[in-house]
Structure 1
Amino acid sequence: MTEEPPHRVIPLASYGQQQLLEYQENPLISALPPVMGLEEVVGLLRLAPRFDSQEALLDGRLRAHAIARLLHSFFQPLSHHLELESKISLMIRQGYIGRNPASGAWYAHLQNGYRRIEEEDLSAAVYQSVSTTASSLSLFGCSGCGKTRTLERILGMYPQALHHPDYNISQLVYLKIDCPIDGDLDELCLSFFNAVDKILGTHYSRSHGRKKLGTKRLLASMCQVANLHALGVLIIDEVQNLNEARSGGAEKMHNFFVSLVNTIGVPIIQVGTHRASKFFQRTFRAARRISGLGSIRWDRLPRDKHWKSLLKQLWKYQWLRNTAPLDDELEATMYDLTQGVMDIVIKLFALAQIRAIVTGVECIKPMLLRKVFEDELKPVHPMLAALRSGRPELIAKYDDLLMPEIEGRLLTLTQSLDRIVPSKPPETSVDGKAKKFAALLEGMEIPQDIAIPMADELLEKYPNIPMAALIHKATAYLAQDNPKKPIIARLKRTEWGRLSEDDLRRRYADGPESEVYDRFKQAGLIFDLRPLLKAS
C-alpha cells in the first residue's frame, strides 16, 4: 500500500517589480527573488559551522560531535560555484519567458501536453507555433568535487513551490531527482512523480506512476506534470546510473532529454561523473539547442591562491587543545593527499582531528595526516592516484568511486575514546592556566610577586572565561585608583633632602648627624623601653 503524501501548505506568491522588460507581466518570474549581486550571492552561499574555542576544553566524545559539524556546515563559495549560480539564475527566468500564463503561452503548452498523452508521442502538438525559451546545462566532474552540495546551496536561495491563486497554478521553481542505480527511463519517471508528490502533496505516483502504463505514456505524463506546475528547472543527478540498454538505447534516451527542453520547454540540468559525459557528448552532438548554456566540467581544485584561501578558512575550525597554524608543509601535505577534491579535504581534516584526540597528541601534523589517509580513506586511493598521474584514461576509470561513509568512521574512532586511560589534566587545567596567565602578566612587565597572586585571584573569580578576557580584567584591576606603595629607590646621600618628609632618609639629612637620634625620637620613631623596664 502506497504511503499517503502529507498535506502541504504552499506559500502564496508575492510579486516584485522587474527591471527587464521581458520579465515584466510574467507572474512566474515576478514571484522569484530578484537577481542578486555578486556579494549577496557569496553571502547566501557561504556556510560556516558553529565554533567556540572554549569547546576545545570539553571531553573528547563531545568534541567528536562538534567536529562532525564540518561535514554538513562548511561551504566556501569559489569562482566556479558563482558561475553555476549565474547560469541557473538565467536558465530559470529565461525558461519562463515562453510559458507566461499572462500571455496564454502556458495554456498552449498544456494543450499540447494533453495531445502527447493521448497519442503517447512526445512530438505531437495542437499548437505548432508554441515556442520554447528553455535551455539545458550539463555538469560533470569526479566524485567528491562538490557538484551536488553546490546545487543544494544554490537552489536553497529560491522558494521551491509557490501558489498563484489568480491563475490556479502551484508553481515548482525547481525539482532535483537522482537516477536510480542501473535504472532506466521508466524508473526515472517514477522518481519524478514521487518527488512532486512529496513537495506538493499530490498523488501523481498513484495516478500516473504505474510502470505497466509503458515508457511512452510515462514520459508524456512526466512532461505534462512538469508543465502543469510550471517547473522552473529539472535537475537530474547521478545520470551515469542510467542503463543505456534498459532504457531502449542511446537514441531513445537522447530523444527524451531533447524533448524536455526543445519541445516541452522545461530547462534541464544533467549532473554526473565524467563517465556520463561520454554519452551526452555523443547524443547531443546533433542537437545543438540541448546544450544551450554549455557543459561545465569540474575537477579537483588547482593548487592556487583560491585553494590556499579555502584551506586557511577551513583550518580555523579545530577542536584541539594544541592547534598548529597552517604552514607550507601542512598545506602541501593536504593537497598531495586529497588532490584538491573538496569532499576528501573536509573528511580528512575531520578524521585527523578525531585521531589527534584519540592518540592524545591534540595537534595536526603532516605525519598524522598521512597515517589517517592510509588507514581511513583506502576506498579513494585508486581515484586519487589516477588524479596524481594526470592520465585521462585512468581518471575516467576511477572517477565515480563511492566516497567512504565518514559518519561511520567518526563513530568508530569516537568509541576508541572509551578505551583511553584518563591522563593527567591538560595544560589548560586551572593550575596550567594560572601559570600561563602569570607568565603573560610578567611579560607585561608586572613584577612576579604581584603577577602570581593576581593570576590566582582572578582565576578564582572567573575560572571559565578566555585568556584574552582575563588579561582585560587584569589591566582593569591595575588601573583602579588603589593607594600605591611608596617607591623605594637608590639615591645618593646628597639627594636625600629632596625626598618626602615621611622618608627616614629625609629626616636623617635634615640636620646634623649627631642629632639624628633626637630627631627620630621627637618624631615618635623610637620606642621608649624605660617604662617597661621599671614595671618589671
Structure 2
Amino acid sequence: MRIEKARYSPSILPEHRGNPLIEALPVKLPDEDLIDELRFYPECSHEERGKDAFERVEYLSRLKDLRQPQLVHLDVFRAVERALKEGYSAKNPHSPTTMNYLHYSLDERPEIEPRTGFFKPKGSGITVIGESGVGKTCMLDQVLGYFPDVIVHEKSSVGLLPLRQVVWLKVDCPGDSTIKGLCLRILEELDRKLGLEPTTPRSTIALLVSQIEAKIKASFLGILVIDEMQNLNLAKAGGAERLLGFLHNLVNNLGIPLLFCANPPFDELLSKSLKSARRAESGGYFDVNLLGQRNGEWELFVEELWELQWTNVVTPLTEALSNKLYELSVGNMDLAVRTFREAQQVIIGSLDERLTEEVLEKGASIAIRASKSARDELAHDQKLNLLKRKKKVKAEHPGETKANPSKKAAVAVNKGKLVQIPGDLSRPHHPEFADILTTLQHTDDLYEQIPDPDLIQRASEEDDPLGPLREAGVLCEDPLKAFA
C-alpha cells in the first residue's frame, strides 16, 4: 500500500484549480511517458544464464512479472484518470457545498442552500470486459498502481486541510451477490487503507449502507473498482439487480465513479437493462481481447517474453516459434507465459537447452490442463476466422511469403540429463548415444571429430576389411553385450 504526503501541482483546467483533491493527484503525463510508467521488464542477464541448473530454474518465477502495455491499457488509464478528476471536481473540501455534502445525506439535508449550491454528483461508470487470463486484473493493477492508495493532506494552497484521501479502492464482487457481503468488503478495505481498527458493522442492511456511505464520504474515495463481477450470474434470483441498484446509488448520491471488471457473461447481464448498461459505460466501455497476430499486439508481447530465457544458450525467436507459441496459447498472455515457463523448466539442466516447437508443445502439455478445453475452443474459432481471410489475403498478395529462415542456435557444452521431447527429432532419444550425438549434431567442423578419416577407405583395400576395423575399435559385432 502506497501512502504519500500531498504534493500539489496546478491543474490543467481552470475549474479544477484550488481543489486540493485534484491538485494532489499525479500530474498528467503524455502517452510516451505514461507507457514507461506502466511497463515492467524483469531482468535476465548473461551471468544468470551461466549459473547451475537448479539455480536457473528459480529465475523462471520472474516471468509472471512481465508487463507489456497494449493500446487498451492507455485507454483504460485515461478513463480512470478522467473519472477521478470529474468525481473530485464536485467535492472541493474548501467549498460550502462539500461541507453540506459531508454532514447531511440527500434525504436529510436542510432546505437552506449553501451559497455555492447543493452537491451535484459527477460519478461515472467504467466497464472492462474480457476472457479469463487476457490480463484484465494485471492491467488494472498497473493502472491503479500509478496512483497512490492514500494521500495525506496537512495543508493546501488556501489553508489547513487535515484529511486522508483514499484515491482508489478495489474489492471482489461477493459470490452470493448480496449487498451486505459487498459492504463488509468495502468497510474492511477502507479501514485497512485508513489505518484504522476494524469497524464493527451495523446490524441491519439499511444501517450498514448508511455506515458505508458515511465512511466513503469521510475518506473522499476517488473510485471504487469491483473485480469478478461475473459472480453476479451465480446469484439467486433478484440478487444481481439489488446489488447493481446499490452500486448505482453510490454514483447517483455520492458521486463515486465505479469501475466494473468482469468476464463476458457480465455484458449479457448489463444488456438486459438499458438503465444499468448506460450507467456502466458512461465513463468508458472496454473489451480486453486475446492478443491479435495481425495487428502487431502479439509480436510486441512475444518479443519481450522471448528475451527472458534462463537456458544456457539463447534460442533466437523465429516466425515458426512465435506462431507455435501463439497456437498453443491462442493469444492468451497468461497461457503463453505459463507455457514458456514450463518449456524452459523441462530442458534446463539437460544436454540440449534449445527451445524448439516440440519443447513448447511439451511445456503446454504441462501448463495447460484444466483450461485445455476452453483453449481448444478458442483455437477452433480462430482457425475458422483464419480460413475465411486466407482467400482475400492470397488474392491481394499473390506469391508473397513471409518466410524468415533463422540461424540454428548453438548448444552449450553441458553435462546434463537426457530430456526426451516427443516429436523433436533434432534431439537424441537414446541415453547411450546422447552425449556424442549432441556433440556431433552441433559441432562447427565434423572433420575434426573423426580421429582417422581414411580408415574405411584403407580397410576396403584389405583382403579382410573387418580386421582393421576391429583393431581400430570401431566395429561392434555384439551390440547387445556392448550396450547392456
- The verdict on a shared fold, with TM-score over 0.5 as the criterion, is yes
Provide the residue aligned with 1:271 in structure 2: 261
Q: Which amino acid aligns with 1:342?
A: M
CA contact (8 A) 1:18 1:30 kept: yes
Provide the residue aligned with 1:458 in structure 2: none
What is the alpha-carbon distance in structure 2 between the residues aligned to residue 136 and residue 248 of structure 1? Answer: 21
Q: Which amino acid aligns with 2:138?
A: R
Q: Tell me the secondary structure at the aligned position of residue 378 of structure 1.
A: coil
CA contact (8 A) 2:177 2:235 kept: no
CA contact (8 A) 1:261 1:290 kept: no
The structure-2 alpha-carbon separation of the partners of 1:316 and 1:217, relative to structure 1 and needing over 3 Å to count, comes to same
1:184 deviates by 2.3
The structure-2 alpha-carbon separation of the partners of 1:215 and 1:56, relative to structure 1 and needing over 3 Å to count, comes to same
2:94 pairs with 77, 102, 111, which one? 102
Q: Which amino acid aligns with 1:362?
A: E
CA contact (8 A) 1:262 1:289 kept: no
1:294 aligns with 2:258: no
CA contact (8 A) 1:184 1:244 kept: no
1:249 deviates by 2.9
What is the alpha-carbon distance in structure 1 between the residues aligned to residue 54 and residue 251 of structure 2? Answer: 51
The structure-2 alpha-carbon separation of the partners of 1:53 and 1:367, relative to structure 1 and needing over 3 Å to count, comes to same
Provide the residue aligned with 1:230 in structure 2: 220
Provide the residue aligned with 2:249 in structure 1: 259
What is the alpha-carbon distance in structure 2 between the residues aligned to residue 298 and residue 359 of structure 1? Answer: 38
1:107-136 Cα distance to aligned partner (Å, 9 max, x none): 2222334x66xxxxxxx6557942111111
1:133 pairs with 118, 122, 125, which one? 122
Provide the residue aligned with 1:333 in structure 2: 324
2:30 pairs with 25, 33, 37, which one? 37
The structure-2 alpha-carbon separation of the partners of 1:250 and 1:180, relative to structure 1 and needing over 3 Å to count, comes to closer
Alignment of 1:325-474 (within 5 A): 325-357=316-348, 359-390=350-381
CA contact (8 A) 1:160 1:172 kept: yes
1:46 aligns with 2:39: yes
1:231-271 Cα distance to aligned partner (Å, 9 max, x none): 11111111122466458533312311211112210011011
1:21 deviates by 0.6
Aligned length: 387
Provide the residue aligned with 1:529 in structure 2: none
Alignment of 1:58-73 (within 5 A): 58-72=51-65
1:60 deviates by 1.3
CA contact (8 A) 2:19 2:93 kept: yes
The structure-2 alpha-carbon separation of the partners of 1:239 and 1:264, relative to structure 1 and needing over 3 Å to count, comes to same
CA contact (8 A) 1:250 1:283 kept: no
1:290 deviates by 4.1
CA contact (8 A) 1:92 1:233 kept: yes
Alignment of 1:103-122 (within 5 A): 103-113=95-105
What is the alpha-carbon distance in structure 2 between the residues aligned to residue 135 and residue 9 of structure 1? Answer: 25
Greater C-alpha radius of gyration: 1
The structure-2 alpha-carbon separation of the partners of 1:360 and 1:241, relative to structure 1 and needing over 3 Å to count, comes to farther
Q: Which amino acid aligns with 2:98?
A: W
CA contact (8 A) 2:125 2:281 kept: yes
Give the superposed CA RMSD: 3.1
CA contact (8 A) 1:160 1:173 kept: yes
1:372-393 Cα distance to aligned partner (Å, 9 max, x none): 21233111112212212339xx
Tell me, which stretches of 5 or more residues in structure 2 are unaligned?
A: 155-159, 383-415, 420-430, 449-484
1:361 deviates by 2.5
The structure-2 alpha-carbon separation of the partners of 1:170 and 1:30, relative to structure 1 and needing over 3 Å to count, comes to same
Q: Tell me the secondary structure at the aligned position of residue 221 of structure 2.
A: coil
What is the alpha-carbon distance in structure 2 between the residues aligned to residue 37 and residue 44 of structure 1? Answer: 11
1:14 aligns with 2:3: no
Q: Which amino acid aligns with 2:299?
A: K
What is the alpha-carbon distance in structure 2 between the residues aligned to residue 137 and residue 330 of structure 1? Answer: 37
